[in-house]
Every structure is written in C-alpha cells, then in structure tokens.
Structure 1
Amino acid sequence: MSDFKPARNHEALGDAFYDRVTPADFPQTILRHRDHRWARRMGLDTLSEAQWLDHFGRFTPLPGSLPEPLALRYHGHQFRSYNPELGDGRGFLFAQGHDLNDNRLLDLGTKGTGRTPWSRGGDGRLTLKGGVREVLASEMLEAMGVYTSKSFSLVETGEALQRGDEPSPTRSAALVRLSHSHIRIGSFQRLAYLHDTEGLQQLLDYAIATYYPELADAADRPAAFLSAVVGNVARLGAQYIAAGFVHGVLNTDNINITGESFDYGPWRFIERYDPDFTAAYFDETGLYSFGRQPDALAWNLTRLAECLVPLSSIEALEPALNRAWPEFRAELPRQMLRRLGLKPGDTEGDAAFVTRLFEFLGTSQAPFEQFLFDWRGGALSAERASASPSAQLYASEGFAPIADALAGYQPSDDVNLDHDYFARARPRTMLIEQVEAIWAPIAESDDWALLEKTLEEIAQMRQAYGQA
C-alpha cells in the first residue's frame, strides 16, 4: 500500500455536512469482486486478500485517510416529490485518495454497510444480487465509454435479508464504489431547504476548489459552477442514450456535481430503440424512460439552479441553465459517432445523420447494440455487417440512406477493427434476461463461473473500444 496517496478533504466541510458512523459488524466476509485495474490506479493493488477484506469488508481505515466513515447529509426530489429525510442511509464515505495516473481526488463510498442516522427504518443492508447487478452495470458502462462510478469491491457478508421484491431470505453484501465525487444536487438542496446561505456558500467554495479549480477567478462563481455542471450532466445524458442505457431512478440525490453516473438499482439496457422503455416497475408514468432521461436531467439541473439563487441572481444563472438542451443536442451526435468509431463531420450534418439513424432504428427495430457493433468504422465494416444476424435489415430499402451517410464518414483513429472482439458475430450485451442468467447459478449452487466469464468478455469489449 506504499503507493496509496490518501486524502481526507471532505472533513474540511465540517460536522454540519455529515455524521460520523460505525460500520456494521458482519458475520463473515467473502471476497466476490475486486477491481484490479482501479486498485492499481489507487495504489492498493498490493493488498493481500486478507488485507483487502480488512479494509473493504471490516472497514478498518486506510492509513492517512478518513479515520471514521462519514454518512453524508443531503435531501432530494424522488420522482419529483421532495424528501427532506434522505442522506446516506445504508452507506458512507469510507476513504478518499488520489488517482495515481492524473492525481484526481477519488472517493471510496459504500453501499450496504449498516444503519446510519438517515436509515429511516431500513436495515442498512444490500442484497448480494443487488451488488452483482451494480458490478455488471458499472463494468458495462465503463466499457461503452460512459463516465461512471466503478464497483471497486464486492464482499459477501453472511447475513440473510428479507426483501419483498425478490425471494427471501436472500444473501447480503457490502459494495465499495469508487467515484470522483459524492456531492449531489441534493447536497445543495438540503442547505437551500434549511435556508442555510452560509452553508451553501461553503459547499460551493469547496466544490469549486476541489472539482472545478479553473473557476476560482470567475466573475460570478455560482453561475460559472452551474454552467460547468450543466455541461457535464448533459454529456452524461448523451452517453446514456448512445449506450442504450436506462438508469431508472434519476432523482436529484442520484445526480452528482461532476456528471458521473452512479447508484445502479433498477437499471436496464434497451434491446431495440424504444423511447418509452422504462427500467423500474414502479415508474408507472415513464418519468425516467429511456427517451425522457435528458429531460429528467434538465429538470434536476433546474433544481440546482434554484439552490444557487441566494448566492447569485436569476439573471446570471438563467443563461447557464439554458445551456442544458443545446449542450445535449450537440453532445449526442458526438457520442453516437464515438460509439460508431467515426470522426465527426460538420455539426448540422452530424445531427441530421443521428436523427435519421434513430428513425431507422425505431422503424426497423434493429437490435440497438448489434447495429453499433456491426457498423463500427462505417463503410470499413460493410463486409462484417453483411454477415451479421441483422444483415437482412441492412439490405432493406430503408437502410440505403443510412449506408450512404456512413460512407461519408472517416473512421476514427481508435476504430480498432482488428481487435478480436470485432471478430464476434454478436456483441456483448447486458439485457435483463442475461443478468438473471448470470445470477441464477450463484443463487442455486454458488457457481460464479458465468459472472467471471462475463466480466472477462466485458474487459475484452472495453479494450476493443479503447476504454482500458
């Protein structure tokens, strides 16, 4: 652990922003997943399994980092209903450290590690299945180039949990999530709700100093901060669409100020283009459906803007907020072309191409990920696409304008078509039935082989797309 560069920056905010808590004492700790790549980047790759379990199963503090876990305080809108009783109810900020590659400050936060003052009657635990699902979501999104938290560690904890939405009793786990920041829109909402202008200013100053230091000398720091957050969150929305991903619960407490995706509950990937596809069975109105995610993110950004009014003015903040939709509309073609391994052309032409592409995907119901896989590099992949399971759709009259448009693009420098991944007939996908198939042997016979094979395939996909 000699390379680990510890930090404890979040303590500087003071006790009004968090509660010091004690981790749960679990009956057992069994290591189920360890992110070796990111462990190396954090200087934690030399830990033995026993040491790893001591820190990420028993939560013995990492040397030089936080001496006690911090349960962070925040509020939030949940399905657009304000809830002032949130906060870290089954997790905490365990440690902070620096990425050895670029020196960024990173947080090690937990999920399923016991009760806190914000548990609201919950048991503070996480199901093992929920932990496995989070590993799969974060690994898959990272491979697709989405700015996401990483599932740093998953430890089975030996408790039997009662849950109404799955067969009970079920197995338990403690997840450690690696993120750039755990400050959420809801962190600002709490202070605005309490009319704590001094606290708002303190949190803003900390956020700028820690995550947006380039804004330190801005004439209107709140407006500059809002503009930066708007740009990053709009990019995330475009990345979701380009990945065919539905987060499922885009509440304000699930949107952080760095535009990094995290907290994977009822997530789904779409099989075919369907703007109305929802991930959560309880999302009865489709508020967070696939196609409405950019709107949900823009709504959440409006809530952040409202919080900043006491520190600035509506007149100054409004232009920054109004960037949300133009930023998303500009970013979506970039993200779609990135996934297709194509160099951007002119802005208007790229936007028109992506519009036609979504029209084709909607009309033809071509498998979403299969299409992006088949046409990686545009015309360079025409022969590959002709052997695809979807080849008949590409021979249709409706595809002709898309083929012509693809032929007009140059492949990106990292198109990487000679990678073994692109020799497959079908891409690696993560549809709900595949998730259930991965979980079934774990639940039935403690067989982890399919999960391990799947993670190997995702690693190959990540390397092929240049996300290693």
Structure 2
Amino acid sequence: MPTQLKHLPAALRFQALGTPFYRETPTTPMPEAIVVAWNAPLANSLGLAPQNEQLQLADYLVGNQTPQDTTPIATVYSGHQFGINAGQLGDGRALITAELTDPQQQVWEVQLKGAGPTPYSRRGDGRAVLRSTIREYLCCEAMHGLGIPTTRALGIGGSSQTIWRETRETRETAAVLTRLAPTLLRFGHFEHQYYRNNIEALQQLANWTLQYHYPECQSAANPYLAMFTQVIEKTARTIAQWQAVGFCHGVMNSDNMSILGLTLDYGPFGFLDGFNPGHICNHSDDTGRYAYQQQPQIGLWNLHCLGQALLPLIAKTDLLAALSQYQAQFETAFAEQLRQKLGLTVWHETDWTLVTDLFELLQGAQTDWTYFWRTLSHWMTRQNDAQLLDLILDRTGFAAWLARYRERLAQDPQSSLERSRAMLSCNPKFILRNHLAEIAIRQAEDHQNFSEIERLRACLAQPFAEQIENHHYADLPPDWASTLSVSCSS
C-alpha cells in the first residue's frame, strides 16, 4: 500500500477550531473490504507511492484503519435545502480522517464518504451505496479533466456489507469514497454558527478560513468583505463553466456550496444530452428549482444565504454591493466560455444575439449539446455544412445562422486551422453521460468487475483528446438511457 497514507499527520487544521465545529467520530468497520478503484495518477501527483498490498489499502479505503490510528472528525453545518432553512445538518456519513501535503505544498483534507454514522446522521446509517460512489468518483475526475474546480476522488473501498435504500425491499452494496479538497468547508458551516447566534464562533471560523484559504485578503480594510467578494467571483466562474459544458448539479442547496467555489457533493447530477434549458436531472426536484437554466440564479441565491450569515462581520450595504456584482461576473465568465467555444479571439456584445439565436435552434431540435460543439469545432476546417445542418430541425434557420457566423468569423484574425485547434481544446469529445456511468455500475454490481470504472476514468481524464481507441465513449446515448433516473438518494 502507499506507506505515506499510513503515516499522514494526525493533527487536522480544522481541529484547532474546537468542538463547536465538529465531533470526533470513529469510522464503523466494514467486513471483507476490497479495493474497487484506486486513482493511481492522482495518488502519484500527491506523492503517494504505488499500491502493492491491496488488502491493507482496502482497509484504509473503507475506514477499517485510519492514518496513525487517529479519530476522524465529522463537521457540523446547517443550510437551506430547496429554498427552506433546514436547520442543523452536518457530515452525516462523511469523516475527515487526515491531511496530506503534496509535492507542491498544497494541503489536502482527506475524507471518507460512507464510513458509518456520525452525530449528524439524523437516524441514517452513515453509509453510501456502490452505485452513487462510482458516480461521484467518476464525476470528480471528469470535472477535473474538464478544468472545472472540483473535489477530487482518490479511491473507492467496497465490502460484502449490504444496506437498505429507496424501499425496505431493496438492499444495495455498501461502499466508501475517499475524496480530497483543500477544504470541504461549505456555506452551511457559516450559516450554522449564525443561526445559533454564535457570533464569536462565526468570527473564529471566518478567521480560520482567511488564514488557510484566503490569506491575501487579510491585509484588506475589511478582510471578511474581501473574502466574500472572492467567494462570489469564484462561484460565478465555476457555474459559468458548468453551463458551458452542460453540467447540471441537481441539488444546489446552500450546504452543497463550497467556500472555494469547488463543485461539491455529486448526487443526482447529469450532463445535458439534447439541449433543453429547462432540463431537470434530479427526479426529486418536483418544481424544477435546480434545472439547468436556473443554476446561475440559484448560485446567487445561495450567496445571499452566505451573506446573511456574515452580517455580523460585514455591513449590510457592503454585502449587497458585493452581491450586486455577481450577475456581471457570471455574464463575463460565461461570455469567456462561449468565446472559446465559438473559436473567437475577442467577445463583442453583439455576440450575445448570435449565441441566443443558436440556443433557440438547438433547443428546437433537442440537439445533443456536446456532440454539436465538437462537430462545430471540426467543421471549422472541413466546412461540411451538411453535417451540421443534419443536427438542426430548422435547416433554413440554421443555414441563415451559419451565414452570420461566417461573417463574424471573417472579423476575427485567425486561420481556420488555428481556430479549430483552439475549439477542440475547449469543446470536449467525452463527458460522463449517465449511461456510461450506468454500464460501469452494472458491471460492478452484477459481476464484481471493476475494470470499466478505471477505463472510463482514464478516458474522462483527457476529454479533449481524440482517443480513437475510446471512440465509443463519445457515442450518443442509446434508447435505454432515456429511462435512467437519479435522485438525491442516489
């Protein structure tokens, strides 16, 4: 096994905050532990040696052993879920077990998700199921490959243990995800102290965040305002990247929002297939609150929740002024994504009309989002209009749009080859479509065959490369994929 994993430092930075912020909680052992997945490239980048003792590694991945036999911690937070203040929540099945410092001196929190009940489990069993763990493992690494801020996934530990899910007639295999982030701090951690009226603890948490994650803000006139302003900008930028690749989070509660702007907590997520701005990827989202087109505004709504929690530290007028910048920051970030996707060197305000008209054409035909942009990238050198026209229902309308696009490209000083190369480097060929994850899940659940997980992870790590040998991963979804459904319990 990676010997460094065993000898990680026992002390966690978060423990310095004290018990108002966490509870020490031992992991709950799992029988017959096995290694389901081990992300060797990530492990190597973190300075962890290659594995050579599978059984011992498995015990670490499921939590049967923890680094230096320390007691892990579960943190407490609150949050707004589907727009309603849900009160105290917390790490109900996740435990921070260690920290590690990589060769670049970046510190990472190491967390086991599914390692047993905690004081915040709310009568839950504290476990995760194999299917949801595989989905999160793959999507963490897919998002990283796309260049989108995210938690990372180091490995999956499995077991012979089964647990109840969905109905009392359904038992599923338990699994544990090892995930990492510079911090897993959420908006909800601040909300919890605010709504408990623990102002001293709130300030302590803000100071801790400044010290470890926003040190450049400490010299500002109001460090808390400077930090909040950066959180707003990072959130806007990350959601703009989501929109550009067609990623739908599915459950953007304030407790699922990262203070670092990371994509956090992969549950009922999905990537757009046919372009539909109203797409809802979570079948538990009856009102469409977290539909694809709603994500930018929900990001702002959640930032208001964080701002409310910071009122004791920042004047209301300053908070509102900072929040008023979000829309422009999001639009700037999204325009930058669209500029790259269209192969332009400079964005003009009139380009919004070009894009809006394109979106309407794509929506009318339910054109596959990823396939369209990749095809457009190749069209740039091939100029095969028929191939593009076949993707759009309104061929006449799209032919007119193509003519306008050509006129716009003529104003841009690039060769077709340069433009195509640039577009291919930002319009992915591969995304984690639901049916691809489902194939890996079925092989793991039905046949104890975990090889597809690694093959898919390796492909998604290079989403912009042609990877001819993996071309089938870029195929459009089969008919049976339309019956797949995911919910918060996934």
Cα distance per residue 1:270-308 (max 9 Å; x no partner): 112211111111111100000001111100000111111
Q: Could you tell me whether the CA contact under 8 Å between 1:189 and 1:304 is conserved in 2? A: yes
Could you tell me which runs of 5 or more consecutive residues in structure 2 were left unpaired when the two chains were aligned.
468-490
Q: Please report how far the alpha carbon of residue 427 of structure 1 lies from its aligned counterpart in structure 2 after TM superposition.
A: 3.3
Q: Could you tell me whether the CA contact under 8 Å between 2:37 and 2:453 is conserved in 1? A: no
What is the count of residue pairs matched by the alignment?
455
Residue 80 of structure 2 aligns to a residue whose secondary structure is strand
Letter in 1 for 2:358: L
Residue identity over aligned pairs, in percent, reads 28
1:306 aligns with 2:308: yes
In the alignment, which of 68, 88, 92 is matched to residue 91 of structure 2? 88
After TM superposition, list the pairs within 5 Å mapping 1:90-239 onto structure 2: 90-101=93-104, 103-164=105-166, 168-239=170-241
Aligned to 1:415: 422
Could you tell me which runs of 5 or more consecutive residues in structure 1 were left unpaired when the two chains were aligned.
none
Aligned to 2:473: none
In the alignment, which of 57, 73, 76 is matched to residue 62 of structure 2? 57
Q: Describe the shift of the 1:344–1:350 C-alpha distance in structure 2 as closer, same or farther (beyond 3 A).
A: farther
Point out which structure has higher relative CO (alpha carbons under 8 A, 6+ apart): 2
Q: Could you tell me whether the CA contact under 8 Å between 1:69 and 1:93 is conserved in 2? A: yes
Query: Which one is further off, 34-43 or 54-63?
Result: 54-63
Aligned to 2:364: 363
In the alignment, which of 79, 85, 88 is matched to residue 76 of structure 1? 79
Aligned to 1:373: 374
1:328 aligns with 2:333: no
Root-mean-square deviation (CA), in Å?
2.9
Q: Could you tell me whether the CA contact under 8 Å between 2:75 and 2:90 is conserved in 1? A: yes
In the alignment, which of 1, 8, 15 is matched to residue 11 of structure 1? 15
Aligned to 1:45: 49
Q: Describe the shift of the 1:51–1:338 C-alpha distance in structure 2 as closer, same or farther (beyond 3 A).
A: farther
Query: Which one is further off, 434-443 or 216-225?
Result: 434-443
Q: Describe the shift of the 1:231–1:58 C-alpha distance in structure 2 as closer, same or farther (beyond 3 A).
A: same
Q: Could you tell me whether the CA contact under 8 Å between 1:356 and 1:402 is conserved in 2? A: no
Q: Describe the shift of the 1:75–1:391 C-alpha distance in structure 2 as closer, same or farther (beyond 3 A).
A: closer
Letter in 1 for 2:12: R
Cα distance per residue 1:317-346 (max 9 Å; x no partner): 111111111111111121233455x35403
Residue 98 of structure 2 aligns to a residue whose secondary structure is strand
TM-score (norm 2): 0.85
Taking the aligned partners of 1:3 and 1:413, their CA distance within structure 2 comes to 44
After TM superposition, list the pairs within 5 Å mapping 1:430-441 onto structure 2: 430-441=432-443
Query: Which one is further off, 289-298 or 3-12?
Result: 3-12
Aligned to 2:27: 23
Q: Please report how far the alpha carbon of residue 15 of structure 1 lies from its aligned counterpart in structure 2 after TM superposition.
A: 1.9
Taking the aligned partners of 2:443 and 2:328, their CA distance within structure 1 comes to 46
Residue 84 of structure 1 aligns to a residue whose secondary structure is strand
Residue 309 of structure 1 aligns to a residue whose secondary structure is coil
Q: Describe the shift of the 1:157–1:259 C-alpha distance in structure 2 as closer, same or farther (beyond 3 A).
A: same
Cα distance per residue 1:22-55 (max 9 Å; x no partner): 0010002111111112211221133433443243
Taking the aligned partners of 2:465 and 2:215, their CA distance within structure 1 comes to 31
Residue 310 of structure 2 aligns to a residue whose secondary structure is helix
Taking the aligned partners of 1:100 and 1:354, their CA distance within structure 2 comes to 42
Taking the aligned partners of 1:167 and 1:271, their CA distance within structure 2 comes to 32
Taking the aligned partners of 1:44 and 1:370, their CA distance within structure 2 comes to 37
Q: Please report how far the alpha carbon of residue 223 of structure 1 lies from its aligned counterpart in structure 2 after TM superposition.
A: 1.3
Q: Could you tell me whether the CA contact under 8 Å between 2:367 and 2:392 is conserved in 1? A: no
Letter in 1 for 2:266: Y
Q: Describe the shift of the 1:317–1:416 C-alpha distance in structure 2 as closer, same or farther (beyond 3 A).
A: closer
Taking the aligned partners of 2:454 and 2:208, their CA distance within structure 1 comes to 40
Cα distance per residue 1:376-395 (max 9 Å; x no partner): 37724645x76579567788
In the alignment, which of 255, 262, 265 is matched to residue 263 of structure 1? 265
